[in-house]
Chain A
Amino acid sequence: MKTMLGNMKTRTNLVTYLVVIAAFVLMQVFNSLGMLSSSQRGYLVPVCVYISLAVSLNLLVGVCGELSLGHAGFMGIGAFTGVVVAAVLKDAVAGDAVRLVLAMIAGGFTAGVMGFLIGIPVLRLRGDYLAIVTLAFGEIMKNIIGNTYAGIDGEGFHMAISTSKMKLGEGGKYIISGPLGATGVEKIATFTMGFVLVMFTLFVVLNLINSKEGRAIKAVRDNRIAAESVGINVTAFRMKAFVVSAFLAGMAGALFGLNYSSMTASKFNFNTSINILVFVVLGGMGNILGSVISAAVLYILPEAMRGLEDFRMIIYAVVLILVMLFTWSPKFKDAVSVAGDKIKGIFRKKKEVGSNE
């Protein structure tokens, strides 16, 4: 029994990896054959970013059962750190790919440290209080980044939280300029790196879930008191999950930041956090493959609906509500099956009528 379960798990994990690899190969083939339009090519990197974000948030929300509303905050920290590191290392590091990896690691590291710091208070709280503290954290980050100025000149790297306090020397260049955000970013993100990031995220998250600690944390999610009574102490693991989730979000953010020539702090607001949460819930709590697919589909959905022009977002909202009802509501499913039976019944009657004639 135990081995069977184990096998099933490995098989699901294997399927997840294979789906991602197959999608990557397929996209690469399409791309090299010139079958992708500019906009479709443009989706490749952000889709990878959002998949990583959704998978890392699923570790928190789905597996640990902690509702976090500040994931975009970690993404933002990673994005701005990544952009700064990539700019500072421009002369020191030759290859773009190496620079990108370093920037992503730096982004992940900073976000991870922030995750640790915020994790100390956050993990004392539960449920919706945890949600509000993560929300608050996301807003604080947005506010601080939105007032940060950073730049490099002959003397090196400067950073301040007001322009008047910062004067760059001759030939200096701003990397982040307050509400204008990061400007003139060199775009070094690639789809291949996006794929690597998704694989890395999957590897880390799946291993964590299937570890002994992972099973313990699921026990805690389902019944904390029972789990504690059998001697499972999970604070350490919750912290680990929180930091890992933040780290991965930071890496994804860095990749995102380096895929565009500019970005503002307001991008990393409550709405972005909520969007990532939508991907997770729609894909299924704790279901990693579900997160991968729903992130990809839901990211492209509003883009694919551009033909609807001004009605685009309202129809997206309706689709979102309907999909939620369809996947979660017990009554709705009953109604669908009843309606299905009725339709079948009509056909049957028609047939009978037809045969009578």
Chain B
Amino acid sequence: MKKFIALLLAAMMVMSMFAGCQSGSEQTATTAAQDQPTGEQAAADTGAAVKIGLTGPLTGGNSEYGLAVRGGMEIAVEEINAKGGLQIEFKAEDDEADGSDKAVSAYNTLKDWGMQIFAGAVTTGSALAIAAETVNDQIFMLTPSASAEDVALTGSNIYQMCFTDPNQGASAAELMSQKWPDATIGVIYDSSDPYSTGIAEGFLAKAEELGLNVAVDDAAFTADNKADLSTQVTQCKDAGCDMVFLPFYYTEAAQVLTYANTVDYHPTFFGCDGMDGILNVEGFDTTLAEGLVLMTPFDANATDEATVSFVTKYKENNDGKVPNQFAADGYDVIYALYNACVAAGIDGSTSAADACALLQEQFSTMTVDGLTGKGMTWDENGMISKAPAAVVVTDGIYVPIS
């Protein structure tokens, strides 16, 4: 009996939460409107604010990526809303990087909020689960960082801000064949992660085509056993690899670099866009990353005005944390959407389906300059085309490879 009472209490809590949420969100909406009288006036001219939503992991093991994207997007929204003109209302929901029910539920919550444009998801699994929903609902989707080809191929309304995985793997192979044609290459990748596996497969296919000498191609790890990456490094070392390709995130890469240094193994390490951020890992000895080659669209140390301003603002908002490419992709996504909305005359009164059609038209023709690339365009599948920039870490900063 007592259990029923407890469950009943919990059920009542759920109910009250439902009620509480609704009233809560209304309140924030109204206060936001009051805080920005200029914005409201401007919005009154052009209609209400455009509602853009994001889903990403905000709690749990992958939350650093979701929080970074959210941080980048928030800055773009602040800047745009301060300008006057078209206003943006932004909301991020937690999908726990779960590729099924949690992701769809986060997306549905945004739909109930009145989202017109979807600017997610952060991770590939969630993006795949949501992509089919956006096709049904006719909601435009521009993902900052879900990089599997299948995401963009799900529907004509889906666009990507990041490189697709096989594409990135192939670029890496091409770069290696140009710069290090004689290298003995080892590949370490995360076989439980679609991003890492996608790049590794794209790389291996292209490497075979180009006739690169790949000595180790099966040094995989999984999310469950990544506590020990020494075996994979040892495999590469024993095979005499002088070039090790690391298509995964900086979190694990820091581990590989540290171990390789301990065992006095110094090949050229080669990373992908997920490697960006390694120099800002707290407590990481950046001298270990000397000579590391990586392909990143974003450099937090770049001196152009846009990057400097973005990095300063991001640090202010996030306890001095330096933004990585996730944050920059998020920032670019909001600006790309904003530019397209302005060009197509989309505002808060446009229905999601109309906005979707108009945005598709815009994105098929427009060119965007952002933090992660200049002159970015999209192909008919919604995949981005931007120049892959390769850099080498020299004295703790990125130096472009000519």
Contacts and interface: CB of A to CB of B under 8 A. Distances in A.
Nearest to B225: A143
Contacts of B222: 143, 146
A42 B223 CA distance: 29
A43 B105 contact: yes
Contacts of B129: 260-263
A187 B130 CA distance: 12
Interface string A119-148: 000000000000000000001000100110
A327 B2 contact: yes
B94 A179 contact: no
Contacts of B190: 179
Contacts of A287: 3
Given A39-B112, A262-B125, A187 B132 contact: yes
Contacts of A146: 191-192, 222
B192 A266 contact: yes
A264 interface: yes
A256 interface: yes
B128 A305 contact: no
Interface in B111-151: 111-112, 124-125, 128-129, 131-133, 148, 150
B194 A263 contact: no
A215 interface: no
Nearest to B21: A307
Contacts of B196: 179
Interface size class of B (residues with CB under 8 A): 35 or more
B12 to A, nearest CB: 10
A257 B224 CA distance: 23
A18 interface: no
Interface residues of A, number: 55
Contacts of A293: 4, 7, 11
A326 B9 CA distance: 11
Contacts of A139: 224
Contacts of A147: 191
Contacts, number: 151
Contacts of B150: 177, 180, 183-184
Nearest to B127: A262
Q: What is the predominant secondary structure among interface residues of chain B facing chain A?
A: helix
Contacts of B3: 282-284, 287, 290, 327
Given A264-B99, A333-B2, A38 B94 contact: no
Interface in A47-98: none
B211 interface: no
B94 to A, nearest CB: 7
Interface stretch (A101-109, A226-234, A244-252, A295-303): A295-303
A319 interface: yes
B20 interface: yes
A158 to B, nearest CB: 17
Interface in B1-57: 2-4, 6-7, 9-11, 13-14, 17-18, 20-21, 24-25
B100 interface: yes
A210 interface: no
Interface in A281-322: 282-284, 287, 290, 293-294, 297-298, 300-301, 303-307, 309-310, 312-313, 319
A43 B18 CA distance: 14
B59 interface: yes
A181 B125 contact: yes
Contacts of B18: 304
B108 A180 contact: no
B58 A326 contact: no
B101 A179 contact: no
B380 to A, nearest CB: 19
B93 interface: yes
Nearest to B93: A306
B193 interface: yes
A115 interface: no
A39 B108 CA distance: 5
A218 interface: no
Nearest to B2: A327
A25 interface: no
Interface of B: 2-4, 6-7, 9-11, 13-14, 17-18, 20-21, 24-25, 58-60, 93-94, 98-101, 104-106, 108-109, 111-112, 124-125, 128-129, 131-133, 148, 150, 154, 190-194, 196-198, 201, 222-224
Given A163-B201, A301-B13, 11 more contacts: A38-B111, A179-B190, A260-B99, A260-B129, A264-B125, A297-B10, A297-B14, A301-B10, A306-B21, A312-B59, A313-B60
Interface of A: 37-39, 41-43, 46, 139, 143, 146-147, 163, 177-181, 183-184, 187, 256, 259-267, 282-284, 287, 290, 293-294, 297-298, 300-301, 303-307, 309-310, 312-313, 319, 323, 326-327, 333
6 contacts: A139-B224, A180-B148, A260-B104, A262-B99, A264-B194, A309-B94
